Structure 1
């Protein structure tokens, strides 16, 4: 709990910090990377280039400070902190890195706000930061222990590519087994792994998260990677391009243990899976899992894609329909006539997903995965239709946060 003295100072200075949030976080990243260039191997350089990372950090720090001082509209912070902790654990963030972040973040506040930052202001915001840091450190320690990562040990393990399958023009699946011949850890549908690759030249190591798209309990893992093509001046995806163009069968990749607090299957009631584009990967893991463990469970899959030819892993759906006795499939393609489906029982519509037309069974658990604007559209529509917020789960990759 924030002390009363610090709470008063934070409440008084919060508007100024919020107004200059992105300038502060932009200066923070510059300072930190100048002093610790090795941390560039952890942070997503694409998000740094587009400014998404500094915007997300500014919003998170301001929202947490608002929460500590009684604002934030009663938003429960536990799930948000869990999501951040899982992401940090998948990157191998350590407790020893938090003082580095804190030191440069507070210095950036002083540099941007100038004389307004008195010793009392520094002390109050330092308290905010360390309350956040200690909560995350504790959560991350529990995650590392659960994943069998020794204290202070590396999260990374070498995995060998045993199969590479081109699913669509822009999507490739990699089947992986441990390079050391050891056991394949289990995972829950909806969890993801981090993949660390060494890029050419001075680009160093980069890390990205990919949902596990295969069946839990199999003797291998599978990830399905979409090539990220830069739009409106944004760079192409460095890691996705590397995986598509440079990684072949027999190569090895460094992977983290599975993380991610969001279950794609929820409880034992009806299940509604809603995905768009490559966001279908956790849904496919969920369907494969249920085909083996609960084939009679009522499941509805709603998926949106540009066209049938762009729909990755589509060829697996007919087999899943044979095994899942109560699976219904509804597809939205931009051009319904381009479905080109073979052996798939599905209702196909053209254009964008209309949340009002998504079939919802009372009491269903809903899992969303896809671009943030898509999930916001669907979630808003489902809430308006009376689906309880606590029954809607979603996974946000990258620096965005779905409110």
Structure 2
């Protein structure tokens, strides 16, 4: 809980810091990486630094946390904290790194605001940061302790690679040592570290898709402008890579509510995992999968999704193709006209604009926002819940 002393100071300065965030965030990261260049080797994504997305995400999450404390003084933004904690543990973030971030983030705020940042205001933001840090550290200790091993990354060997639609390759990895494997929950992801030509390792997160027990299986779409996926696509069978334990909190809820899985392109990966899990359990829930692709040739994991849906007693698959007549429908769906029942639990995955449009239309059509869950890989500049969304839009 934020102290009464700090509350009015945060209330008065949060709008100013939100407005200045695009200038503060890059200074924060520049300062931190100059002092700790090792953080760019296996922890932070260089591509996200270049785009400016990562600096805004980390700094913005602290502001979002602060605004939640102002509007909901008796609670924390649990979903925001959970999302960050799972990402942190997939990357192996440890407690001493919180002090590093603190020093450079608060330093960047002080440098940007100058004399306007009085010692009292600085102390108030220091309180906010450590409230958030302690909440995250508690979650992260629990996540680390829940694993079947005490390593952050274990070595895995590429055992098989197969082509699927949309410029996507499916990789199957087998353990390269005897590190115990934590069973994954459908919808979870792993971090994979790939060594670049300059020797620096870069991490990326990929949803785990169904595979044989004792393996890790992912589907990777090639980003022609990306740094990591083009390298991954060229890896020969037998290559060893460090892979994290499974993390991620966008998983199926313990409910019998109808399910709607709405995806576009490579966003189908968590949906395939959900469907396979439901089929394996013999679920009788009403399950409606809706996917959007340009053409059949651009539809990754299409056959796997079709096979999983066919095993469900109450499942259906609706396909939209935007550049061909191969789907059940042509073009892009009008999300408001999908007739999604208000009691449904909806899962979204795809490009950010696709998910924003879908969520807005579904909420307008009567689906409660808390029933709509989403997955974003890379910096999450959206943060669906309203308080966080307002911070990012400010």
Alignment of 1:39-78 (within 5 A): 39-41=39-41, 42-70=43-71, 77-78=77-78
- Residues 193 and 210 of structure 1 are in contact (CA less than 8 Å); yes or no, is this contact kept in structure 2? yes
- 2:186 corresponds to: 189
Are 1:223 and 2:218 counterparts? yes
Which residue does 1:344 correspond to in 2? none
**Cα distance change on mapping 1:138 and 1:51 into 2, 3 Å:** same
Question: How many residue pairs were aligned?
Answer: 382
Counterpart in 2 of 1:208?
A: 204
Decide whether aligned partners of structure 1 residues 292 and 70 sit closer, same or farther in structure 2, where only a CA change above 3 A counts.
closer
Q: 1:71 to 1:244 in 2, by over 3 A?
A: same
Q: Paired residue for 2:347, among 367, 375, 394?
A: 367
Query: What stretches of structure 2 of length at least 5 have no aligned partner?
Result: 385-394
Relative distance call for 1:319 and 1:265 in structure 2 (3 A) is: farther
- Secondary structure at the residue paired with 2:317? strand
Q: Over aligned residues, Cα RMSD in angstroms?
A: 2.1
1:290 aligns with 2:278: yes
Q: How does 1:128-143 map to 2 (within 5 A)?
A: 128-143=128-143
Matched residues in 1 for 2:128 and 2:290: separation? 42
1:108-150 deviation digits (Å, cap 9, x = unpaired): 1111111112221221111111111111111111100011454
Query: 1:126 and 2:123 equivalent?
Result: no
Matched, 1:28 2:16: no
> What pairs with 1:296-311 in structure 2 (closer than 5 Å)?
296-311=284-299
SS at match of 2:209: coil
Q: How does 1:106-117 map to 2 (within 5 A)?
A: 106-117=106-117
Output the CA distance in 2 between the equivalents of 1:137 and 1:149: 19
1:238 aligns with 2:227: yes
Q: Does 1:179 align with 2:179?
A: no
Question: 1:393 is matched with which residue?
Answer: 373
Describe the shift of the 1:252–1:8 C-alpha distance in structure 2 as closer, same or farther (beyond 3 A). same
Residues 242-267 of structure 1: CA deviation (Å, up to 9, x unaligned): 1012x121111111111001114652
- 1:150-184 alpha-carbon deviations (Å, 9 max, x no partner): 4xxx4101111111011135200001111125554
TM-score by length of 2: 0.91
Gaps spanning 5+ residues in structure 1: where?
A: 230-235, 340-346
